């Protein structure tokens, strides 16, 4: 790959800050963070120790971006392939280093250099085009809701699935896989909320609770996706948002 040194330098400068540089400098590589990492717990290899994940980022800053493609490819593989940014490692770090924040910064570098993993990039593209990362169309979403509601009404005739209702107390969002692959989960959600007598609504256009922009490290796209849901919640005048994990 050809490295755009100007873009790399600009991205590193943008990600830099007192907190990030402090964290990079004080990590003592003690390995205590490994105790909180599910990657390390399931496969205790040195490269799964959270402190190891920040090494490519440290190399980038030490060398002021004057690196070859191997360093950037290693950074991509490490920051996307061995971390979910769950932040458990920080609970075990004696210095309180936010390794998830460092990984997110590293992903931002990867994004700027065009190194977002293809599958993640496609999901992000879907989210921006369709409003959800699996590319479910609005018609398919509405049809799935109608289908599950009809089945639920055989058991609970009073059940409802309000759509784009203004003034409801809660706006419900879902993980797209629940709609596309596991619609029985939607059945159970509707059953629960109706049985509890919760005043809720769904949005026909902003129902995806995930944010692949955040996961990818693309701050601009993450902001667009978050705004899609936040703006909808404000437009519908709901009091709170219920989101998936």
Segment 127-142, tens digit of pLDDT? 999 999 999 999 999 9
Query: Taking residues 90-117, what's their average pLDDT?
Result: 95
pLDDT of res. 245 = 66
Segment 214-241, tens digit of pLDDT? 999 999 999 999 999 999 999 999 999 9
Segment 6-43, tens digit of pLDDT? 999 999 999 988 999 899 999 998 999 999 999 999 99
Segment 152-194, tens digit of pLDDT? 999 999 999 999 999 999 999 999 999 999 999 999 999 999 9
pLDDT of res. 122 = 97
Q: ∠175-180-181 over CA atoms, to 5°?
A: 95
pLDDT of res. 31 = 92
Query: Taking residues 67-81, what's their average pLDDT?
Result: 92
pLDDT of res. 154 = 97
Segment 196-218, tens digit of pLDDT? 999 999 999 999 999 999 999 99
pLDDT of res. 64 = 84
CATH fold label, 5-118? Fumarate Reductase Iron-sulfur Protein; Chain B, domain 2 (1.10.1060)
* Percent of residues, the chain, with pLDDT higher than 70: 100
pLDDT of res. 224 = 97
- Can you give the residue ranges of every domain in the chain? 5-118, 128-242
Query: Taking residues 46-62, what's their average pLDDT?
Result: 90
- pLDDT range class, residue 105, cuts 50, 70, 90: very high
């Amino acid at each position: 790959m050809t490295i755009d040194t100007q873009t790399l330098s600009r991205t590193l400068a943008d990600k830099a800050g007192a907190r990030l540089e402090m964290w990079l400098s004080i990590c003592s590589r003690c390995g205590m963070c490994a105790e909180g990492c599910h990657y390390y717990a399931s496969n205790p290899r040195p490269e799964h120790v959270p402190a190891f994940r920040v090494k490519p980022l440290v190399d980038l800053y030490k060398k002021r971006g004057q690196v070859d493609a191997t360093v950037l490819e290693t950074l991509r593989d490490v920051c996307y392939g061995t971390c979910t940014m769950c932040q458990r490692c920080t609970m075990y770090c004696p210095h309180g280093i936010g390794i998830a924040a460092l990984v997110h910064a590293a992903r931002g570098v990867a994004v700027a250099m065009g190194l977002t993993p293809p599958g993640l990039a496609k999901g992000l593209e879907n989210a921006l085009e369709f409003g959800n990362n699996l590319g479910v169309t609005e018609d398919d979403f509405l049809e799935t809701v109608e289908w599950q509601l009809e089945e639920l009404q055989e058991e609970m005739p009073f059940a409802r699935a309000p759509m784009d209702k203004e003034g409801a107390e809660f706006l419900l969002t879902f993980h797209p896989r629940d709609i596309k692959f596991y619609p029985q989960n939607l059945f159970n959600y509707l059953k629960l909320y109706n049985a509890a007598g919760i005043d809720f609504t769904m949005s026909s256009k902003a129902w995806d609770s995930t944010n692949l922009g955040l996961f990818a490290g693309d701050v601009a796209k993450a902001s667009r996706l978050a705004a899609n849901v936040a703006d909808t919640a404000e437009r519908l005048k709901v009091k709170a948002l219920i989101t998936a994990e």
